Amino acid sequence: MEKRKLVELLEDMSMEEKIGQLLQLTGSYFMEDAVLTGPEAEIGVTDQEIACCGSVLSVHGAKELRKIQDRIMKSQPHHIPALFMLDVIHGFRTIFPVPIGQGCTFHPELVKEGASISAKETAVSGVHITFSPMSDLCRDARWGRVMEGTGEDKYLNGVYTKAMVEGYQGKDVKAPYKVGACVKHFAAYGLPEGGREYNTVEVSNRTLFEDYLPAYKEGVKAGAVSVMTSFNTLDRIPSTANRRLMRDVLRDNMGFDGVLISDYGAVMELVNHGIAEDGKEAAKLAINAGVDIEMMSRSYVANLKELIVSGEVEQSVLNEAVMRVLTLKNQLGLFEHPYKDASEEGEQAYILCKEHREAARKCAEESLVLLENDGILPLKKQGQHIAFIGPYVDNKELYGAWALMADGKDAKALSEIVPLLYPNNGYWFEHACNIVPKDSLLSGLASTLETKYTEEEEARAMERAVETAAAADIVVLMMGEHRLQTGEAAAVGDITLPKKQLELLERIAKVNENIVTVLFNGRPLDIREVKEKSSAVLEAWFPGTEGAYAVADTLFGTSNPSGRLSMSFPYCVGQVPVHYDEFATGRPKETEEVENKFCSRYEDIPNAPLYPFGYGLSYADFTYEYRRISKEQLKISKQDDFIEASVTVTNHSDVVGMEVVQLYIQDVKGSVVRPVKELKGFQKICLEPQESKTVTFCITEKMLRFYDINMEYKSEPGEFRIYIGHDSTQSNGLAFHLTK
């Protein structure tokens, strides 16, 4: 539709209709014979409001959505189609690894392809927008939602945000099989105090701009059509009412002109926050802050009219918000094609098709991070007695908490796959114990918790598992968190594995010293005991529909692990938040030995995490040689000046392997304290046995900019050091100078 016609449409709409465009309700309101219960009933929307509702969340299925679209267009006085939005966080039905696992691939093209596949499955099911990517920077493993982000690094998160937005939207979101992206949760939702969900965020303005905002900005730059507000406060103002954040920073500064949507119920939560007296004031604050769509609360529909009549909200503010929603519908082509790609044939053809499964398998393979290996891996393909033990041995649900459409029936368990793929060993499979105790309170996105054993059955199963372990050559322990232990509303104060599983590990370690532990989890855990008792540790995250294949092939060496940690594994919970790009203190700790009590250290634990950012092993053996830079001076005044930094990487093993070559830069002295180093680039390369490759990074002045003492984003002349290596602990930097 032409812009002029959109304007005409807007002018012709009644106030109720306009306000209706700003309401988003769940699909339950639009089902035939809908009976609403619980919170959905409590919101108390009227039939008239439902008839004018502009967007719908959490519904999918081509047939159903076509019907809902028909119903909405029939009841809406101008027959305006609805927007359908859904949380497709790491796959629609073909589930990819949880985002933190995808972060560990260090392979943005793969992540982009995954997003494009998710878009296709989402689009054919009738949905127009996914509430993804989550670009929140996460440094606190207690927070359940670290699973939904790609990790602790600002640069890496930006790279992935861009990749996902491009994957979902393509070049034109109107094109077939594309969906709109929604960058969330703006802003700094990943920093709740104490790691506790929905908690206050306290962050300096500098850190906010320097570390927390860049990834969202990459999403905006990549053309994301929508952004979601966060539940938290910033500077004691809830984001949903934060005018400066939304209008000055997001819109003016970052240039976002798409639709800003509140998080679920967040407008009414302004009352709980204590900054609005009631729904009316909440509506006023949110719309004036620039929030266009209110998700799942009705303060806009109940109050905006009155607020406009009384002059507390300008008519132009309402028009502007409605126009953005109409523009988005137009961008998606909904006025001409209200069902967009919704098609039952499409669902049949594409959902879980071979190509999608293959991509999910590849992504899962590259997300696995080998944390320890004394040579026990890869497992031999014949002549061994291997006992696979633990609650993930026969579990098909290797999904995270946000895989809403996932179905265990779509996947295979490791116990089904291994004997078929690698038939020449002897295998035993023992489930051994429940993932978590039967009575665990796991409030997440599902209300039921299925456990396999009663207490007595579990005791017998553990006993049997220990006997099996004693008779085996090798034990592969498959343990982890329950998928509902991470995700929204899943913050924890203890980041160790569930107790029963640790008991299992301990008992098995007494009878067999050849233990390979495979971990399924959505957050970095304190795995000191696992490390101590295992000969190898493979971090599998929640690897998705094809996860069991990826794990099996990696254990047996058909696939060579190439994932690297995108979030540090803390030594223990007392260390969090922990991140590699920390700041130099006035009393740095030089060595792990206690030489000086009065330096920045703990009395009882080391400063270093158990596994650092960027870390991960391979079955290949890589060396880095001939680190060099093309020159030692970079001139600010000389436009397009750059330095080339190179290294030669050699694979000395007899297996093909992928290595993530990482570039870190340290700004030695600044007008404000600078991080000890920052990731500025990486390249994932594949090396044949005995092959060498030279990897070159181009360093420009732009990469050295930061918010200086006056909050100006610029570089400062002086010394810099370059570290190229296979993880963030690389020392021996090469120095260069930035000059005027």
**Is the bond preceding 133 in cis, omega lying within 30 degrees of 0?**
yes
Alpha helices in 243-314 (DSSP H): 243, 269-273, 279-289, 299-309
Q: Would you give the distance in Å from CA 76 to the centre of its chain?
A: 36
Check if 621 is active-site: no
Closest alpha carbon to 480 in 432, 418, 426, 545 = 432
Distance CA 267, CA 83 (A): 20
Q: Which is nearer to ligand BGC, 197 or 553 (CB)?
A: 197
At its nearest, how many Å lie between ligand BGC and the CB of residue 89?
8
CA angle centred on 612, ends 496 and 571, rounded to 5°: 30
Q: Output 489 or 573, the one with its CB closest to ligand BGC.
A: 489
403, 649 Cβ separation under 8 angstroms: no
d(CA 418, CA 452): 22
Classify residue 222 as exposed, middle or buried by CB count within 10 Å of its CB (0-12, 13-18, 19+): buried
CB 393 within 8 A of CB 415: yes
What is the smallest separation between the CB atom of 227 and ligand BGC, expressed in angstroms? 12
CB of 134 to ligand BGC, least distance (A): 7
Residue facing ligand BGC at closest CB distance: 131
**193 near 202, Cβ under 8 Å?**
yes
Compare residues 488 and 539 and give the one whose CB is closer to ligand BGC: 488
Residue 131 sits in the site that holds ligand BGC (CB under 6 A): yes
Token couple for 114: 């995954």
Is residue 264 within the footprint of ligand BGC (CB under 6 A)? yes
Whose Cβ is closer to ligand BGC: residue 404's or residue 572's?
Answer: 404
Strand partners, 739: 635
- Geometric angle at alpha carbon 265, from 45 and 288, rounded to 5°: 95
- Judged by CB under 6 A, the number of residues near ligand BGC is 7
Interface with ligand BGC in residues 65-124 (CB under 6 A): 87
What Å distances lie between residue 78 and 12, 23, 47, 615, 692, CA to CA? 9, 16, 17, 56, 65
Q: Which of residues 5-24 bind ligand BGC (CB under 6 A)?
A: none
Question: Based on CB atoms, which residue is closest to ligand BGC, 27 or 609?
Answer: 27
Q: Are 453 and 461 in contact (CB under 8 A)?
A: yes
Closest to 485 (Cα-Cα) out of 234, 146, 130: 146
Residue 678, beta-bridge partner list: 665
Judged by CB, which is closer to ligand BGC: 131, or 706? 131
Nearest Cα residue to 556 out of 394, 410, 398, 423: 423
Q: Which two tokens stand for residue 679?
A: 């990731």
Nearest alpha-carbon partner for 61 in 78, 44, 86: 86
Q: Which of 154, 152, 149 lies closest to 139, judged by CA?
A: 152
Does 488 help bind ligand BGC (rule: CB under 6 A)? yes
Distance CA 215, CA 209 (A): 10
Give the Å distances, CA to CA, from 514 to 379, 475, 517: 11, 6, 10
Least Å distance between CB 182 and ligand BGC? 7
Minimum Å gap between C-beta 232 and ligand BGC is 11
Identified binder of ligand BGC from the candidate list 90, 93, 120, 184, rule CB under 6 A: 184
Is residue 263 part of the contact set for ligand BGC (CB under 6 A)?
Answer: yes
Residue 168 interacts with ligand BGC (CB under 6 A): yes or no = no
Minimum Å gap between C-beta 267 and ligand BGC is 13
Binding mask 41-70 for ligand BGC (x = CB under 6 A): ----------------x-------------
Q: Check if the beta carbon of residue 191 is closer than 8 Å to that of residue 579.
A: no
Q: 23-26 and 55-57 as β-strands: parallel, antiparallel, unpaired?
A: parallel
Q: How far is the CB of 87 from ligand BGC (least distance, A)?
A: 5
Taking the C-alpha atoms of residue 242 and residue 227, their distance in angstroms, rounded to an integer, is 14
Nearer to ligand BGC by Cβ, of 447 and 591: the residue is 447
Whichever of 231 and 388 has its CB closer to ligand BGC, that residue is 231
Task: Output the smallest distance, CB 131 to ligand BGC, in A.
Answer: 3
Closer to ligand BGC by CB, 115 or 649: give it: 115
Shortest Cβ distance from residue 546 to ligand BGC (Å)? Answer: 25
Tell me how far apart the alpha carbons of residues 697 and 596 are, in angstroms, rounded to a whole number: 38
CA 177 and chain centroid, separation: 22
Task: Name the minimum Å distance from CB 398 to ligand BGC.
Answer: 22
Q: Is 71 helix (H, G, I), strand (E, B) or coil?
A: helix
Q: Distance between CA atoms of 697 and 679, rounded to whole angstroms? A: 12
Rounded Cα distance, 450 and 11, in Å: 54
Catalytic residue, candidates 263, 292, 341, 667: 263
Give the footprint of ligand BGC on this chain (CB under 6 A). Answer: 57, 87, 131, 184, 263-264, 488
Q: Which residues are catalytic?
A: 263
